[in-house]
Structure 1
Amino acid sequence: MKPFVTIVLVLCIYVSESGSAGLMQKSVIFPTKTATSFVKLNAAGFSDLNAFTVCLRAASEENRNYTLFSCAVTGSNNELLILQKSNAQLDLYLGSVITGFSLPKMDAWLRHICVSWESQNGEITAWVNGRRSLRKVSSKDGVVKNGGQFFLGQEQDSVGGKFDIEQSFVGEITDVNMWDRALKPYEIELISQGCYNIGGNLIDWGSTTFTTGGNVIIKDNNDCTF
């Protein structure tokens, strides 16, 4: 019986490190800046996008540029990138086009951040804790190409890798969801306030499989424990 028990334990350890399913009521913590630590989210398959909303909760005390969310495809390492800058500006990259929002500086308090875009009119909006920014117009009639790889905490200089330590995230991220449409204001307000909500149809924090690498810690966050 002993060899059988040993094999089962090895298999359980392997599954927990790679290809695990869902992070409901969990946070990922990046303790230090590195060029090796990441969380890869296996988004649902989709055709080219003409709209999206990405939402997440994050906190960081770093005073430098760092990456929250990145999608890269062959030929475009910044197909979709959300970058927090040292001057408190939040930048959305859509290919080579950058749209920046001057928002309250990131700090140790977890905040709910959403960024939405729709191609038809090029409208881009940022949201912090359910409050929206002014609306900006960019990448009208553009698309976000399919076949991308999605990472938290690292900017991809090539698809799936070539990470830059100076753009790596240090802090805590949770509740990452992505939809293939621009959510309505009331939806974002509700999501920002509630513990239990419907996840994104492209990335669902509660069920999307993921892989971690490097120094990443996964912890129960107990934020929704009653």
Structure 2
Amino acid sequence: MNHDNCVPRKEWEVPFRATPREVPALRRITRLHLTHWGLLDVLENAQLCVSELATNVVKHVGLGAPAVLAVCMNGTKLHLEVQDPYADAVPILECAGTQDEGGRGLELIDAMSERWGVRRTSTGKATWCELATALTSPHGHVQDHRVSRADELLSSYDANAACFMRAGVATLDQAAKCAARLIVDLLCWTQAHGLDPGSLLEEAQESFEVASIGRNR
């Protein structure tokens, strides 16, 4: 399968007001989008960076200030930024003392991201950071031997699936339907051999969850 364009990752934005109650909502939205993008390896760090970027606006720009969370890919890096209309309130990285309650937001961003910065915009400024991912192309998927095995299996299982997968992104949905048919056939195989399909699904789900936890570490 051509992996370069199999997962379209279109830039998205979320306007919000700079209040503490908005921060958990931004984290949830980020989690949903990045899960859909298959970027589980950077999920936790991305949510923390979004929290700190948004909280920075609340603390240093002003409660209720209009802002925008914008997320996109910059090559294989995940680009996160929060835009606000106040160009003069520029965040500065300072080493917080052990007794300091504040000043740690940008330290966290600096530690978790490959790079970060502030840029002027036509309407104010944008504070941004970029996280490294395990991708080899902006719209491909994370390299995983289990995913590669599934690609090969689907290609040999269904001639149509092989065509879909060679074609790439435009027919990913059809390839997913072939994957669903394969799962059904495997459950029928299980039942035909006197085994319990439900137990097989439970075992597979448990194994998948363990694998997912391993990818997130």
Question: What TM-score comes out, normalization by structure 2 length?
Answer: 0.28
Whose Rg is larger?
2
The structure with the greater share of residues assigned to helix is: 2
Identify which of structures 1 and 2 has the higher relative contact order when contacts are C-alpha pairs closer than 8 Å and 6+ apart. Answer: 1
Question: What TM-score comes out, normalization by structure 1 length?
Answer: 0.27
